[in-house]
A and B are shown apart, each in its own frame.
Chain A
Amino acid sequence: MNYPGEHPIFGQLGHLFVALAFAAALLSCICYFASLKGELIGNSWARIGRIAFGIHSFAVAGIVATMFYVIYNHYFEYYYAWYHSSYTLPFRYMFACFWEGQEGSFLLWAVWHVVLSWIIIWKGGEWEAPVVGVIATVQVFLSSMLLGVYVFGYKLGSDPFIYLRNNPEMQNLPFIKMADYLTKIKDGRGLNPLLQNYWMVIHPPTLFLGFASTVVPFAFALGGLIKGKYTEWVKPAIPWAFFGVMILGTGVLMGAAWAYEALSFGGFWAWDPVENASLVPWLTFVGAAHLMLIFKHRQHSIVSTYIFTIVTFLLVLYSTFLTRSGILGSTSVHAFTDLGMSGQLIVYMAFYVLLSAYLLIKNRKKLPKTEVEEEISSREFWMFIGTLVLMISAMQITFTTSIPVFDKLGFYHITNGLGSVVNLFVGIINRLFGADIHLIAKRHNLSPPDDPKAHYNLWQLPIAVILGVLTAISQFFKYKTTDEKEWMKKISLSLLLSVLLSAFISWQLEFNRVNYFILLFTSIFTVIANFDFMVRVLKLKVGLSGASIAHIGFGMILLGILISNSKSTIISQNHSDVNLGKDFPNNENVMLIKGDTVPMKDYYISYKGRHRGTAITDEKNLYYTIEYFKRNPDTKRLDKEFELMPTVQLNQRMGNVSEPSTKRFAMKDIYTHITYADFDDVEDPTSDSIYKKPITKQMKVGDTVALVNSLLILTGIDKEVDKAAMKLNNTDLAAGAILKVIDINKHETVAVPVMVIRGNNLFSIPVTLDSLGLKLDFPKINPENGKADIVITEKRKNEFIIMKAIIFPWINLLWLGALLMILGCLVAIRKRLRTRD
């Protein structure tokens, strides 16, 4: 069949580029590995490998360009363009719809690998062949994700250039089968309005660059094993490791900032599986980078360096699997849905697990052993401990996040087994000592912890304390060995200052829990000790202070997290008398009727009104104007302080979404969020009148209609209406609908609207029930079914919103700390690059 309006050339071009990218990557890695056998300089295998990689890069660029062209021109015959873009989408979101889908985000990842590889090729030297060779194998897998071909009945990858009419979800729709189906498609489905946000433009590229950067140290490590240069790879990999730590860290924090600013999490971190999936590789990456430093200075711990570097990359693959296989389905709010690629992702993971394990085990004898033992007073000892603590942190988060995976694997058999063993002992103890310890119940499936925040905090807060102390004290140790007295002398000043300062702050903030105080002390200690090291040891030479700056940043992040979380106050308390007892202690939502002014902690707030966005791309947003006042003590008048505009997006696809609005001060943020609003009359042009649009119900005797705050029952038809009382003529035909109205308090009222036939005219006499805000009318009886038409008009309630307002004190410390951490990484990378030349 011929389909007019299609542009088949782009699909053909796209498929060609995908096939080329796949084949060239395969050729490139084969040639690069073949080149490792002989001399590298003037090696023709290496040259072919590089040329093939060039072709691969060209092909990847070609896929991106074609896909972008298709999306940009709204060629909706392509499913990807139809699914992710639309005519009304502003240009700045074109990129966002490019990587909204799985295929596009795999492509983004592949693009970054290409860019990073060219930097390595450009630097040249002996590491090109092994490193780019390993990256090329990854590119083989990534390209295969876009193939969309069937191999022995198994679908390999998902084709981004599939026609709309060939997509399995669409192809059975009747109109799709017509030749002119394209004329029937008025617009694309479009980018999910939830994601129409500038974060969607900057966050994914950053995060994927972070993911992509984990491959470089990994490729150096594997390259070292393949080439037999078991330790030489570390030095050139160090700047890459810190680059990756910086970018991935930025990506994770951007996600947190997005969650805080635009999503309704009510905070910046929710321990959502998707957040965890990017945090965990970062933790091990930080460990790997520090181990590389230890090795560079002391030639120690090469095995751990290998393990951390490899595990980091594997964890990136694992998190890809978690977020894209659909396995998190019911546990995460924003995981990708399954595209049927989980099998492929498992193969991909298994390949690198087995390859790394094989290479490590094969070469284990050749890895240099550490002969001397580290001194307790050496820097490397404490750094090593720190990396182990990071590993525990990563393990704990991974384990809990993986509960849906364990559940799928039937892991509860094991926990039930362990439980029975424990129960055996518990039984014996109970029997022997007359104790009454509960037995562990058998379970048939596992769900994530009921209170994930509490669960993670239980483990991650002590870990944060240990890491904080380690970052504070470690730099004061020298590599190899340190004079303990001197160390004590150096550290004591910071220690003293930190104790004093944290005591002062916890008194100021009224901290009443020991664990808060401990965390407060450690984070302050981290900041002060590292600052002290920078001042007294490094003499404020910024170029050398990368580590100190990054560690100060870490301390400030901890401090910001601690204070903004523990001291956050929900100021939107409900002042009504309703008390639900201890089960429902927290009343966090407050109702605001339009025009009313309500006291809320230090403020008086008022809901002024709402309006729709005016631009065509903004029409879906309802802006609610909330004014914040303070009482002026002199004039006793309310002075307006500021205005916030939380938004509700009327989102047909995902359901309505409310977006908070935050007033930022130096010392605190005031976060305001609409938790409930009534949208029934948003579309109604008469929304200024006191009545809503009338509704007509066809009722027969005995029928019930539920209204907003009452029930309406048609109990009968009164054929003997008192005509005189209603000033009707005797010749009129009149019938009354006997309507029983039951309100919330079970109070009953009877209303009888009357239908009158006078000659050829039909009219009616409605009844108005003021106390219920109801108008009832009975205009006619339907001749075909004998049912009565009852017209119900409800009085409009005062427009109101339910909102929540939270104060987050000192949250800017978190963002400032994040900036310092990035800056510290940059300084450290610069230093490493300089000393290398």
Chain B
Amino acid sequence: MKKTHIVAIILIAVGIGAILSTVSSSGTYSDFSVAAKNKDMDYHVNGKLDKAKDIHYNPEENANLFTFYMIDKKGVERKVLYNGSKPQDFEKSDEIVLVGHCTGKDFMAKTILLKCPSKYSNPNEDMKEFKAKG
């Protein structure tokens, strides 16, 4: 066996490790009730903004806290706390994808992804991403 082969085998093993780690670190699209069961884990939760409820951002009080209510795909509603400033055009959003975890009653969002319907009649939706950590 050549030395190159040995090295190649080691590298292939590392490659498989990389792939397995990708699988294990990949997230899951989920809903609030699943996320509430496992409060240590981060989930991707999609849903809609509850426009009837309070959308609160008061920068004079705290420029890094934005709260709102989201209804997930199964109709469960939760208050969402986001550690950052309010995303521009937030109210216009059609669909929201949150990444974060549940706490007692709330959901702590690390990232907010917004899907905004276009003003024009084309079907493509534009995504915007907001991250709590820079």
**Which A residues are within 8 Å of any B CB, using their own CB?**
169-170, 173, 189, 266-267, 329-330, 332-333, 337, 373-374, 376, 381, 384-385, 388-389, 391-392, 395-396, 399-400, 403, 415, 418, 441, 443-451, 455, 458-459, 570, 574, 576, 578, 580, 583-584, 586-591, 648, 652-658, 675-676, 709, 744, 800, 802, 804, 806
Contacts and interface: CB of A to CB of B under 8 A. Distances in A.
Given A381-B4, A588-B134, A655-B116, A396 B15 contact: yes
Interface in B73-90: 81, 83-86, 88-89
Given A170-B121, A589-B63, A655-B88, A449 B134 contact: no
Contacts of A449: 22, 25-27
Nearest to B123: A169
B116 A654 contact: yes
Interface residues of B, number: 64
Contacts of B64: 574, 580, 584, 586-589
B38 to A, nearest CB: 8
A676 B86 contact: yes
B126 A654 contact: yes
B79 to A, nearest CB: 13
Contacts of A657: 88
A396 B116 CA distance: 31
A675 B84 contact: yes
Nearest to B2: A373
Interface of B: 2-4, 7-8, 11, 14-15, 18-19, 21-23, 25-29, 38, 42-44, 46, 57-65, 81, 83-86, 88-89, 92, 97, 99, 103, 108, 110, 113, 115-116, 118-129, 131-134
Nearest to A389: B11
A123 B119 CA distance: 52
A681 to B, nearest CB: 16
Contacts of B18: 392, 395-396, 399, 459
Contacts of B131: 266
Question: Which of A589, A656, A709 has the most B CB atoms < 10 Å from its CB?
Answer: A589
Nearest to B65: A580
Nearest to A403: B26
A664 B38 CA distance: 45
Nearest to B19: A399
A450 B133 CA distance: 12
A458 B3 contact: no
Contacts of A169: 121-123
Given A330-B115, A655-B88, 7 more contacts: A333-B129, A444-B28, A576-B61, A578-B61, A589-B59, A653-B120, A802-B59
A651 to B, nearest CB: 9
A374 B134 contact: no
Given A170-B121, A373-B2, A655-B92, A450 B62 contact: no
B97 to A, nearest CB: 6
A447 B92 CA distance: 24
Contacts of B57: 676
Contacts of A443: 28
Question: Which of A189, A441, A576, A675 has the most B CB atoms < 10 Å from its CB?
Answer: A675
| Top 3 A-B residue pairs of the complex, sorted by shortest distance between their CB atoms | A337-B124, A655-B89, A676-B85
B118 to A, nearest CB: 7
A384 B119 contact: no
A459 B14 CA distance: 10
9 contacts: A395-B18, A448-B27, A449-B27, A570-B134, A576-B61, A583-B81, A654-B128, A656-B89, A675-B85
Contacts of B110: 450-451
A330 B4 contact: no
Question: Which of B3, B92, B110, B132 has the most A CB atoms < 10 Å from its CB?
Answer: B3
Nearest to B131: A266
A446 B28 contact: yes
